Amino acid sequence: MMLPAPTQILSSQENVRVYLCLFFSEILRCLLDGKKFMKTILAAYTGVLRGTGSVILSALQSLLSVCWAWCPRLEKQVQVFSVMQFIVSFLIMGPICSVVMLYLLWTDYWWVTASYTTWLFYDWNTHKQAGRRFSWVRNWTVWIYYRDYFPIRLIKTHNLLPNRNYILGYHPHGIFCFGALCNFATEANGFSAKFPGITPFVATLAGNFRMPLAREYLMSAGVCPVNRTTLEFILSCNGTGNAVVITVGGAAESLDCTPGVHCITLKNRKGFVKLALQQGADLVPVYSFGENDVYKQLILDEGSWWRLIQRRLQKILGFAPCVFQGRGLFSPDTWGLVPFSKPINSVVGKPMEMPKISSPSQEEVDHYHTMYMSSLTQLFDKHKTHFGLREEDVLVIH
């Protein structure tokens, strides 16, 4: 929408107000079409200097009418940046904070590093003991934009009781576990409202909690290390109503994720079942339809040298060095790290009630592991056609 032509001479104070309205209105409009940006702004500015301008009410009306016209385009870009901030945080926040802290030691601000290091020694075990979450971090507006980019949905099929503890098995891993973060480490999809009385903990690599400042960020969202000490503390020493979210397939599973593939690593992953039996925590299968569709990945042949290098690096680093491709930061037609905008639907299945067995036998672990795989397969088959899959599509379990 074009602003009305200046027709009336105003006072110098009114000129300034009209100029500001013209300026910001034209910026917003030009974000839509991207044409004649500087020429338009200069023309508006020149008109004000010459003593011409529209009535202030007309300028304000034009501003209000324009301010939401640019929303679809600009809002989508905000969503892209919201997703990108998570990716950057995940990949480089820890290393950058470590480098900055080391650098400060050789400056006049050495006391910042010294103070934080002292605090770190005092607070070192907090992340192993349910952490330190802040609801205001989980409710940041940025997570709403993050959710809406894909979009991501959380589908509840059964209640989770506050007088029980749970282990939620999240499948598949994908490249960055976008669904797990959005649904369980934030309130973007209203987890606390859908499952009242349940406190979620998203388990991730323990190495992330050795990074200065990054550990504080992770804990504030309810993220914890995926090691036995931490999980046992949450499930046995933190009362009831706790739900630990474990991406069972881990880094190995991420090497097989690609659009149209429904393949998970689970057949030999039995540690979470044994933990559930020891703590008497119910198992809950969670399947995220679309998690594998947000990136294109080069799948290397099993047995090839490149695949062996991938596996080796995975064991050394703790995460899989995937060769993947997304879209660009400013255009979906270019390559980049931004995931494709594909819907992710996370379905929380029916809890499996587990007995408490302090020392379960291998036969008991195998029995409940088989039950869990069956429950997950049933969950997949029941909901697959609702989310664009064909009836003949099957869940492949490795």
| Cα–Cα distance list, 353 to 164, 209, 356, 361, 363 (Å) | 10, 32, 10, 18, 17
| pLDDT, average across residues 355-364 | 95
Q: Quick check: pTM over 0.75? A: yes
200, two tokens: 């979620």
Task: Give CA angle at 258 (257, 264), nearest 5°.
Answer: 30
- Whole-number average pLDDT of the chain: 83
- 87: amino acid identity, one letter: I
Q: What is the pLDDT of residue 58?
A: 54
CB 150 within 8 A of CB 174: no
HSE-up (13 A, CA, CB side) for residue 312:
7
Three-class SS state of 397: strand
Residue 45: Cβ-neighbour burial (10 angstroms; 0-12, 13-18, 19+): middle
Q: Give tens-digit pLDDT for 20-31.
A: 454 455 444 544
pLDDT score, position 70: 54
Range 119-122 contact pairs with CB under 8 angstroms and sequence separation of 24 or more: 120/212
